[in-house]
Structure formats: C-alpha cells, structure tokens
Amino acid sequence: MLKKISKLPFTGTPEQEAQLQAIIASVDGDKSLLMHVMQKAQGIYGYLPFEVQAIIAEGMNIPLEHIYGVSTFYAQFALAPKGKYNISVCLGTACYVKGAQDILDKVTEELGIISGECTADGQFSIEACRCIGACGLAPVMMINDDVYGTLTPAQIPAILEKYRNA
C-alpha cells in the first residue's frame, strides 16, 4: 500500500533533535544501522517526516532518497503522525469476513482522512492493522488501548463522539 505523506506542519523540538543526534552519534558512522536509527527516530517523533529523515541523511551521510525508500518499504515506518487517539481497524481474516472493511470505510468517512493519515487538529489517526488476537470479537477496532468488538458501522459515530468530547 502507498503511504500517505503528512502535510501537517512539523512540530519537532530542539530536545527531540538532540536525542536523535545522540542516537546518530552512537552508531559511529555504521550505515548498516540505518534501520535501528530510523526506529529510534520514530520512537522520538512518532513518525518520520521529511525534517527527521533529512537529519538522519545528513548525520549518517546516506542519501535521503535511500532512507525514504526504506521508510516506504517497511510497514513499521510511518510518514504521518499518530493522533492523540490512534484508531486501528483490524483487517485480519476473521475481521475481514465479518465486515471490517465497512467499519474502516465508516471511520474514514466520519473523520475525512484515510488510513495512514492524521486529522488536521491532531486528534485522530487511522491505521489498518492485521490480527490483534481478538478474532472471537470480530470485527474489532482499537482506539489507543480500548478494544471495541462485534462492531457495526452504525455504532462508529457514537464511539468517536466519546473521544471528541473527552
């Protein structure tokens, strides 16, 4: 799946950059540790926007395109920030046959963003995930650590409303 590149403004702090620079310094020019650095960077910023990848490119002397290529190859890297509430809709086999696509479509429609994106106010992000081990409750979605099972699309607006007002 093609990853969406976030258009939200970058809000990184000098403290975050100092942390990232320390990680880069710790690998001592070993380019084979690129993915390690990218994972740590994502841990610091939550995602890997242009500004963060550019710092890694400069610091590790690796072409930015190469880093971007890695970040779009592996599912674990995000190009958009997670919202305050991250919604994971399970598209694993059991959930899928029980209509998870309709759930995802409804969430998408309600929030006006697609999977991999974050709302402009930073409140919600959506991701389609694989089995979260709750097949008995299919179809399942998680909002941060809260699990919602045996869902129907009609329930979605009310669930989202709870978080909007939280």
Partner 1 sequence: METVNIKINNMAASVPAGSTILEAARTIGIEIPTLCYLKEINEIGACRICMVEVKGARSLVTACVFPVTEGMEVFTNTEKVRKSRKLTLELILSTHDRRCLSCVRSGNCELQALCKEFGVDDEAHFAGENPRYDFDDSAAHMVRDNNRCILCRRCVAACQQQDCAVIGANARGFNTHIGSAFEKDLADVSCVSCGQCIVNCPTGALSEKDDTDKVLAAINDPEKYVIVHTAPSIRATLGEAFGLKLGTNVQGKMVAALRRLGFDKVFDTDFAADLTIMEEANELIERVTNGGVLPMITSCSPGWVKYCEHYFPQLIPHLSSCKSPQQMFGAVIKSWYAEKNGIDPAKIVCVGVMPCTAKKFENKRDGQNATGYPDVDIAITTRELARMIDSAGIYFKHLADEEFDNPLGEASGAGVIFGATGGVMEAALRTAVETLTGEELRSLDFTEVRGTKGIKEASYQVGDLTVNVCAASGLQNARKVLEEIAAGTSKYHFIEIMACPGGCVNGGGQPVQHAVVRNFVDLRGARAKALYEADAASAVRKSHENPAIKQLYAEYLGEPGSHKAHELLHTHYTARPKYK
For residue 126, report the phi and psi dihedrals to the nearest 5 degrees.
-120, 140
Q: How far is the CB of 79 from partner 1 (least distance, A)?
A: 8
Tell the smallest beta-carbon distance from residue 97 to partner 1 (Å).
Answer: 23
CB of 63 to partner 1, least distance (A): 4
Q: CB 20 → partner 1: shortest distance, Å?
A: 18
- Closest to partner 1 by CB, 70 vs 159, is 70
| Long-range Cβ pairs for the range 19-23 (8 Å, 24+) | 19/44, 20/44, 20/45, 20/52, 20/55, 20/56, 20/59, 21/55, 21/59
Sign of CA dihedral 74, 80, 85, 88: negative
> Which positions touch partner 1 (CB under 8 A)?
1-3, 5, 50, 53-54, 63-69, 72-73
- Using the minimum distance from each CB to partner 1, give the nearer residue, 2 or 154: 2
Pick 65 or 146: Cβ nearer partner 1: 65
- If the CB atoms of residues 71 and 103 are measured against partner 1, the closer one turns out to be 71
Which DSSP helix (H) or strand (E) runs through 96?
A: helix 93-97
| Cα(144)–Cα(12) distance, integer angstroms | 22
